[in-house]
């Protein structure tokens, strides 16, 4: 499956929807979307990951970049992370610095 990253911003929430396989070849696309999102100074970054089938270490590096680029005042939510991707995130401890949700919960995210 081809990788896609789509950005939409609404009410100071930047939402990036990821699908396909995030690896060294596709990580620059994701990084570009993170930079675009950061340029809009959102209060929250939401990563919709329901359709992300695979994430290599290059994808993890972009997640770390996103955390740094957004700064400490921006909460990052990862929605619908598949088990194989979640395993990679947990092994690195990155799950401790983001919010993991099974589905988009407007009450929690948009509050």
In this prediction, what percent of the chain has a pLDDT beyond 70? 100
CA distances from 2 to 16, 77, 80 (A): 16, 23, 19
Q: What is the pLDDT of residue 96?
A: 95
Q: What is the pLDDT of residue 76?
A: 97
Arithmetic mean of pLDDT over the chain: 95
CB 42 within 8 A of CB 63: no
Q: What is the pLDDT of residue 1?
A: 76
Q: What is the DSSP letter of 10?
A: E
pLDDT of 110 over the 80 cut:
yes
Which two three-digit tokens encode residue 18? Answer: 């990821």
Secondary structure in 3-state letters for 41-101: CCCEEEEEEEEEEEECHHHHHHHHHHHHHHCCCCEEEEECCCHHHHHHHHHHCHHHHCEEE
The topology (CATH level 3) of 4-109 is Transcription Regulator spoIIAA (3.30.750)
Q: Judging by beta carbons within 10 Å of its beta carbon (0-12, 13-18, 19+), is residue 94 exposed, middle or buried?
A: middle
Delimit the domains of the chain by residue range: 4-109
Cα separation, 44 vs 54, whole angstroms? 24
CB 24 within 8 A of CB 56: yes
């Amino acid at each position: 499956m081809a990788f896609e990253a789509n950005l939409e911003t609404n009410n100071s929430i930047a939402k990036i929807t990821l699908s396909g396989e995030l690896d060294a070849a596709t990580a620059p696309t994701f990084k570009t979307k993170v930079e675009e999102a950061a340029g809009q100074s959102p209060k929250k970054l939401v990563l919709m990951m329901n359709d992300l089938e695979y994430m290599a270490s290059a994808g993890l590096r972009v997640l770390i970049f996103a955390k740094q680029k957004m700064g400490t005042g921006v909460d990052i939510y990862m929605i619908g992370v598949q088990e194989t991707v979640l395993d990679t995130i947990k092994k690195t401890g990155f799950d401790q610095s983001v919010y993991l949700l099974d589905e988009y919960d407007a009450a929690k995210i948009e509050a």
